[in-house]
């Protein structure tokens, strides 16, 4: 996508949504012998999400897994719009946008796998990571330089805030 077209999309964004596994994490699932789950989150992504919120961009997490680790991390970051165990991400995002009085073209979403495809086809700014599914890469408006769990979300927050002239640094 040309830089001009990308920036036109970026300027319209009023809400940021993202998946967890493969986006906020590297996608590896650590499961102990008693079923306990561990996930690693990058501090840069956490700060990026806090910056988005501080600059007036609400953040919503929509993930297919029902993970206590995600709930704990969201709580640490002050994220209260967290949707766990969601099979139909498109319908959930539609509900969120209706609640917020926004349209799909005002939404950005970061996904990495096929369960994010239908949602990415609808949002105004569709984003995936370098190791995202080929089907997502084919429709994405932006593919991050950083991998999931390694600062990709922070990269997107910077793109949006800088593109809107809201980057505070």
Model pLDDT for residues 115-164, shown as the tens digit of each residue: 999 999 999 999 999 999 999 999 999 999 999 999 999 999 999 999 99
pLDDT at 35: 85
Tell me what pLDDT residue 80 has. 87
What pLDDT, in 10s, does the model give residues 52-96? Answer: 999 999 999 999 998 888 999 999 999 989 999 999 999 999 999
Rounded Cα distance between 102 and 67, Å, is: 28
**Beta strands 30-31 and 37-38: pairing type?**
antiparallel
Is residue 125 classed as helix, strand or coil in its secondary structure?
Answer: strand
Distance CA 108, CA 90 (A): 12
Structural domains for the chain: 3-163 (3.40.50.1000)
Q: How many angstroms separate the CA atoms of 129 and 23, rounded?
A: 7
Integer Cα distance of 109 and 169 in angstroms: 24
Q: Per-residue pLDDT tens for 8-49?
A: 999 999 999 999 999 999 999 888 899 888 899 999 999 999
The pLDDT value given to residue 22: 96
> What does pTM read for this prediction?
0.95
What pLDDT, on the 0 to 100 scale, is given for residue 100? 96
């Amino acid at each position: 996508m040309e830089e001009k077209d990308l920036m036109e999309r970026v300027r319209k964004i009023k809400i940021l949504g993202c998946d967890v596994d493969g986006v906020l994490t590297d996608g590896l699932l650590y499961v102990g012998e008693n079923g306990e789950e561990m996930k690693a989150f990058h501090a840069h992504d956490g700060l990026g999400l806090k910056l988005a919120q501080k600059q007036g961009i609400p953040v919503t997490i929509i993930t297919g897994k029902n993970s206590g680790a995600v709930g704990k991390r969201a709580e640490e970051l002050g994220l209260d719009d967290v949707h766990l165990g969601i099979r139909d991400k498109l319908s959930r995002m539609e509900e969120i946008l209706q609640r917020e009085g926004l349209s799909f073209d005002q939404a950005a979403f970061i996904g990495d796998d096929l369960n994010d495809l239908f949602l990415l086809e609808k949002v105004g700014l569709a984003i995936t990571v370098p190791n995202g599914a080929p089907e997502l890469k084919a429709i994405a408006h932006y593919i991050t330089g950083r991998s999931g769990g390694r600062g990709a979300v922070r990269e997107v927050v910077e793109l949006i805030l800088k593109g809107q002239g809201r980057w505070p640094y």
